Amino acid sequence: MKALVLKAYGELVYEEVPSPDYGPEDLLVRVKACAICGSDVHGFDGSTGRRIPPLVMGHEASGIVAAAGAVVTGFQVGDRITFDSTIYCGRCYFCRQGRINLCDNRRVLGVSCAEYRQNGAFAEYVAIPQHIAYQLPEAITFEQAAMVEPVSIALHALHRSPVGVNNTAVVVGSGMIGLLLIQLLKVAGCGNVVAVDLDPRKLELARRLGASHTFQADRPDLAAAIQNLTAGRGADIAFEAVGISAAVKTAIASLRKGGTLTLVGNLAPQIDFALQQVVTREISVNGSCASGGEYPACLELIARGALDVDALISQVAPLSEGAVWFKRLYDGEPGLMKVILQP
C-alpha cells in the first residue's frame, strides 16, 4: 500500500510500505480521509519527541471497513466508520473507572516514542481494535468524520468544566480546539463567549462561529475589557487552548473570584504560573487530556448541524501531496487551518 512516511525529521516521503497486519479483534480500515493535526506538524520537526522516525503519522481519520477479524462483532465489511485516536486497554484501573484517556497502557495512533510505535492513518489502510471504532451517521461525510477527534477534545474539556446557562466564558486561543470550544459553549447555553487571540483573521472566524466578543491578546486593558462585560467581576470560566505562559496568564486574569480555568493547550512542557492569583482568588484549575468517550455525542452534534466543522477545513488534497501541505502548515501560512488528506 501507499503511505506518507516520516523518514527523518523534516522529511516526508510518499512510498510503498507493507499493509498492516490485523488480529482477531481488529478492523482493517481503508482510509478515506485523514486530517493533519497540529501535533503532527510539531512532531514533523522532532520537537515533541513523540514522532520518532520512521513512522506513518495521522490519527484524525475515517474510512470503510475493508476486513474484520475473526471475533469482531458489530462491524462488517463496507461499514463507514471513524475511530478514536487513543487505543486503550479496557482493563486497567482507569479504564474500569471510565477514564479511558488516562489508560495505563494507552497508545496513540501515529505516535512513536520510547515506549511504543503505533503507525497511523496517513496511508491507504490502517488496522485498529474494534473497540475504538464508531459507525458514521449517513449525514456525515468522511471529511467531516475526520474532524471528530478534535471535536471530542473540545467536548471533553467542556465536560471537565462547570458550564452554566448564561455564563460568561473566555477562550484564549482561536486555533482548531479554541474555535470548536466556542461553538460548544454556545450550544451549552453560555451567554457571552469571549475569544482571545493575536491573529485578527482567527478572531473574525471566531465571531462567525459564535463568539459574542473578540479581543486581541496583546490589548493592554484586556482584563478590564472582560470585566466590563460582567459587571466588574470577570468571566465564570476560561479555557486556555494554546499551552504557553502568556496565554495561561491571560486566562487567569480574565476570571472572576471563584472562577474555573481549564487547561487544554499542551505546547510548552512547563510554564510560569500565577500561583498567588489562583490561591487568593480561589480559582479552580482543571487539566483536560484528549477525550474520554465523547465520540458518539460529537457525531450526533455534527450530524444535526449543531457544529460547523466545514468552516474549519481549509483544503482537501491527495495523500501524495501531503509533504507539500505539511510544509505549508509548518511555515504557518496565514489563513490555513485544517488540511485533510485523501489516500
234 burial (CB, 10 Å; 0-12 / 13-18 / 19+) is buried
User: Side chain identity at 276, as an amino acid letter?
Assistant: Q
Q: How confident is the model at residue 114 (pLDDT cuts 50, 70, 90)?
A: confident
Grid cell in block for residue 88: 486503550
What pLDDT shows up at residue 73?
A: 96
Q: What is the mean pLDDT of residues 75-95?
A: 97
CA 340/CA 317 separation, integer angstroms: 6
Q: How confident is the model at residue 33 (pLDDT cuts 50, 70, 90)?
A: very high
Q: Per-residue pLDDT tens for 296-332? A: 999 999 999 999 999 999 999 999 999 999 999 999 9
CA 32/CA 35 separation, integer angstroms: 10
Strands 338-342 and 26-35: antiparallel
What pLDDT shows up at residue 268?
A: 84
Q: Look up the CATH architecture of domain 2-150+292-342.
A: Alpha-Beta Complex (3.90)
Which residue(s) pair with 51 in the sheet?
112
CA 64/CA 33 separation, integer angstroms: 10
Grid cell in block for residue 74: 458489530
Topology of domain 161-287, per CATH?
Rossmann fold (3.40.50)
Considering the chain, what percentage of its residues have pLDDT values greater than 90?
95
Asked if residue 85 lies in contact with residue 107, where contact means CB atoms within 8 angstroms, the answer is no
Cα Rg, the chain, nearest whole Å: 20
pTM summary value: 0.95
Spatial CB neighbours of 190, under 8 Å, sequence gap ≥ 6: 163, 165, 166, 167, 168, 169
CA 130/CA 279 separation, integer angstroms: 45
Encode burial over 62-71: b for 16+ CB neighbours within 10 A, e otherwise: bbbbbebbee
Q: Per-residue pLDDT tens for 265-285? A: 988 889 999 999 999 999 999
Could you give the angle at which helices 176-187 and 148-159 cross, rounded to 10 degrees?
Answer: 60
What pLDDT shows up at residue 296?
A: 97
Q: Where are the domains of the chain?
A: 2-150+292-342, 161-287
Asked if residue 263 lies in contact with residue 289, where contact means CB atoms within 8 angstroms, the answer is no
Mean pLDDT of the chain: 96
- From the list 149, 59, 152, the residue with the least C-alpha distance to 111 is 59
Q: What is the mean pLDDT of residues 64-91?
A: 97
Q: What is the dihedral of CA 134, 60, 301, 211, to 10 degrees?
A: 170
342 burial (CB, 10 Å; 0-12 / 13-18 / 19+) is middle
Domain 2-150+292-342 shares a fold with domain 161-287:
no
What pLDDT shows up at residue 48?
A: 81
